Every structure is written in C-alpha cells, then in structure tokens.
Homo-oligomer: A and B are copies of this chain.
Amino acid sequence: MTIASSTPPAPRRLDPEDAQLALRQVQDLLRRQQLVSELAHRQYAENDRAGLMENLLHRQHDAEIKLLVDQLHPADIAFILESLPKDERQIIWSLVDHSHDADVLLEVDDWVRESLIEAMDRQDLVAATSDMDADELADIAPDLPPDVVAEVQKGLTDEERARLLTAMGYPEDSVGAIMDFEMVRVREDVTLEVVLRYLRRLGELPDHTDQIFVVDRQDRLQGTLPLTRLLVSEPETDVRDVMSPDFLALSPTDSDADAAGAFERYDLVSAPVTDEQGRLIGRVTIADVVDVIREDSDEQALSRAGMQEEDIFAPMRAAMRNRAPWLLLNLCTAAIASIVASRFEDTVSHIVILAFLMSIVAGIGGNSGNQTMTMIIRALAVGRVTPDNVWRLIKKELSVTLLVGLCGSLVAGGFAWFISGEISIALVMMGAMVCNMLVGAGVGVLVPMVRARFGKDPALGSSVLLTFATDSLGFFIFLGLATIFLV
C-alpha cells in the first residue's frame, strides 16, 4: 500500500484493478523497451550513438518500472511476477528493491518462486532469507540452494533452528506446515496491568494477534485471553479471572483442511497449536487458513480437468508433461468404449442411424451421473454422509434420475423418431437412455463413496471412471437392445 502524504488522506478505495493496472503499465514499459532495442539493432547496427541512445532509454525505462513497482504492496508485486512470462519476470524481479525480496518470495506461488530464486545470487538470497521467521524459512527452504540454507541456519539461535527443523518435518497438508511460532504468552497468576506493561515492553505484537495465550510453568496451555477482553477489563483483575479456559487447540498433525473447517465454523482469527502433552508449540492464523481454502478450491478446479497448478506461460515441455497424462488416460477409456461398441458392428451396419444416436445415450448418462457425483462429493466433503443416511441418499438419487430420465427420454425418443422415422428405434433409444442414466447415477454415488471409504480423495479420478462407465455401458445397452429388438 502506498504511504499517504501528510495532508489529511482520503480513504483509499478498494480497486481490484489496481494490481492489474500496474501490470499493464509494466507490460507497456517492457514493450517500449523491446521496441527501442529492436529499432536500435535494426537501423543503426553500426552506429555507436544509437547504442548509447538505446542504453539511455533502457535505463530510463528501468527507472520508470522501478518507481512503479517499488510503491506496490509485496502481494501486488508477486501478482505481477506471476502474470509475466519467465524472461520478463526476471527483468522485473531484478528491478524490485531488495528490501521487498523476502516478502515477495513468501507471497509468490511455488511455481514462480523457483525461477525467482534461480535469478538471485547467493549473497542476495542469504540477505533476503536471513531475516525470515523459522516458519517462513521452512516454507521456502525446499526451493533454496542447500548452501544458502546452511548459511542462513548459522545465523539462527538454537531455538529458531529447532523451530525450523520442527516446521520442516511436518507433511505439506498438515497444521504443522502452516503454523507459525510468533505469539505472546503470559502466566495466569499475574494481573492484566502486568500483561499490559509486558506488551508495551514488547513494542510490537505479531501479525493477527487477536488473543494472548495463557500457559503454566511447563508451557501447557491453560486458556486464551482475547485482546478485546483484555482491553475492556479492569487492570487489577487477574489473568485467570478473565481468560477463556475453553478453547480449541489444534494438533500439528491435524490436516490443514480440517483446521480451515474449524476456522470457518467457529469464526476464528487465530488458534493455538499444542503437542500431546498440551504444551503450546505454535499458532495458526486466518491468513494461512484463507490461503489453504483458496488453494484447495483452485486445486479441485484444476484436478477436475486433469491438471496441476501451471504457470500460464509455462514452457512447452512443462505444459505438455502436465496435460498429456490425462488426455492419454481419456484416450484409452474412449478406445475401450469403442471396442465395446464395435462388437455390434453387424447391428450398426444394418441400421446406420444407430451410430449417430449412440453418442447421445452415452453423453446424457455422463452428464446426469456428473450431477449426482457432484452432489455426493460435496456431501462427503462436509461430512454429511453417515451410515444412517447412505441408503436414503442412494434411493433419492436413483429416483430423481429415473424421473428426470423418463422425461428426458421422451425428448430423446421424439428426436430418434424424427431422425429415423421408426418408432421401434425411438423406443429402444428411450429404454437405453433411462438405463444409462441410472448407470451414471449408480457410478456417481458409489465411486466417490468407495474412494472415501478407503481414505482416498473422493473427487480424484472419479470423473474418468464415470465417463468410462457411461460411455461403455451406454454403447453396450443401446446397441444391445437394438440387436435384440430391431435386427
């Protein structure tokens, strides 16, 4: 955020386009730079003064970009870096003031951080990382060259080094991986007056401090003292008398998604993390939780299309590696479905119109099954499916599908009649469509449930199986019925 001038400031309006505007300006400047270089090279290749001129303009552009970028919030700088192709990203990154290095490195997405670190020399890296907290360092350590990590470690206190090792030891999707170690702890037998004096001595409180943690001599968490309660209570009161002895403590091995659920449900801003003995070892804040929620939702959207997080300007090879496996998998299932269908070559050669109707049957089964599956995956995700209501759910999904299928099959049958002129084909079409929609509903209910039952992510891979089933069985049912009744 920009620093306001000394005149009474007007409130800064939220402008979601702020960052995008800056991005466009940066792109504009980069483009002008390119143009100047090209002109200089083309027209005055031999001319020293053209070189000088180019150099001058180049420096001017750099200065403009630097001015623009340096007044941005690190989160906005990160956004711009993420939105540029690698070569331009490196140019901008080299212009970012070193004082922002650490914040930007922490803000950018993983796939960008790598390229930024690549472009920094050892000294800058050490400088940027040596002021980081243990939990921040743990986040980016995997991307750092080992010698930099070693160098930075030397500058840490024993306590910080221990924290770094702890933080690096937790798996990626655990509470341990998102917790930080910056928090204020007090004893329960002091007065609020003492706490207030202590806070003033600290001079600064960690970000997102909405509560102080009350611990005993063994560092076991006894309660929490919200700042709002600290502020409204009389200073003579003992901490013990105003703290909440009832609090929710996370374990470092809890999943981050569960923690996010708790934050969402109970509207938390921060939550303590304790070990098995109840000792306070860290804290999770809403800022990390919001990131978890956003990343999970992004991941789901991508994995549904068979992809992982990808730089929009990723090099060809990376993009291909990301996308090809999914397409190959779908190619294989489609091939198997077409083998199933080809068993009915005789039937189709008799009544060619079946060839054009069979993909409708397969497609609608897939669409309908996808609706059921989306419902079930969401119900599973929020924990709404219990042994008690499973049957009720399955029955409901099958009945809804049956009813929708019956209505839809009238339309489809009408179409089949229109295109083929034969009522018998229309009847086969209707029967096959209803059956295949039931197949879709069955697979849509069962696959996610079975996957969840065995502790797997119910969403992943379910859609491939669904399409496979509705395609293969759709062809089989439709052409099978046709073989029986029409040939």
Interface string of A236-274 (1 = CB under 8 A from B): 000000000111111100110011011111110101101
A23 CB to nearest chain B CB (Å) = 6
Contact yes or no, B378 A301, CB < 8 A: yes
CB–CB B298/A378 < 8 A: yes
Q: In the assembled complex, which residues on chain B have CB atoms less than 8 Å from the CB atom of A339? A: 356, 419
A330 at the binding interface (Cβ < 8 Å) = yes
Residue of A84, A255, A300, A384 most packed against chain B (CB within 10 A): A384
- Asked if residues A228 and B250 are in contact (CB atoms below 8 Å), the reply is no
- Whether the Cβ atoms of A262 and B16 lie closer than 8 Å is yes
**CB atoms of B232 and A209 under 8 A apart:** no
Residues of chain B lying within 8 A (CB to CB) of residue A254:
14, 16
The listed residue (B261, B305, B324, B368) touching A370 by CB distance below 8 A is B305
Find out whether the CB atom of A389 lies under 8 angstroms from the CB atom of B342. Answer: no
Which of A24, A200, A404 gathers the greatest number of chain B CB atoms within 10 Å? A404
Could you tell me the dominant secondary structure of chain A's interface residues?
helix
Chain B proximity of A249: nearest CB distance (Å): 3
A42 to B483, CA, bound (A): 50
Report yes or no: A371 in contact with B323, Cβ–Cβ below 8 A. yes
Bitwise interface map of A from 398 to 416 toward B, beta carbon under 8 Å scored 1, else 0:
0110011001100110010
Q: How far is the CA of A300 from the CA of B357 in the complex (A)?
A: 31
- Contact digits for A69-90, partner B, Cβ 8 Å, 1 yes 0 no: 0000101100100111100000
Cβ of A423 under 8 Å from chain B: no
**A330 contacts which chain B residues (CB < 8 A)?**
363-364, 367
Contact between A408 and B27, CB atoms less than 8 A apart: no
| A37 CB → nearest B CB, Å | 17
Which of chain B's residues has its CB closest to A24's CB? B386
A331 in complex: contacting residue of B313, B338, B345, B412, CB < 8 Å: B412
Count residues of A near B (Cβ-Cβ below 8 Å).
154
Q: Mark A286-325, 1 if CB is under 8 A from B, else 0.
A: 1101110110011011101111001011001001100110
A290 to B292, CA, bound (A): 11
* Docked CA distance A456–B247 (Å): 44
- CB of A154 within 8 Å of the partner chain: no
- B232 x A266 contact (CB < 8 A): no
Contacts of A223 in B (CB 8 A): 9
A334 & B360 in contact (Cβ 8 Å cutoff): yes
Pair B345/A400 contact, Cβ less than 8 Å: no
A248 touches B1 (CB 8 A): yes
B-contact bits for A13-57, CB 8 A (1 contact / 0 none): 110110110011001100100000000000000000000000000
User: Considering residues A27, A28, A378, which has the most beta carbons from chain B within 10 angstroms of its beta carbon?
Assistant: A378
CB neighbours of A419 from chain B (8 A): 338-339, 342
A14-B249, A14-B262, A23-B386 known; A232 vs B331 contact (CB < 8 Å): no
A-B contact pairs, 8 of them (CB 8 A): A83-B384, A297-B297, A323-B400, A334-B359, A334-B363, A335-B415, A355-B358, A359-B471
Q: Which 5 A-B pairs have the closest CB atoms?
A: A355-B355, A11-B249, A297-B297, A205-B228, A16-B258
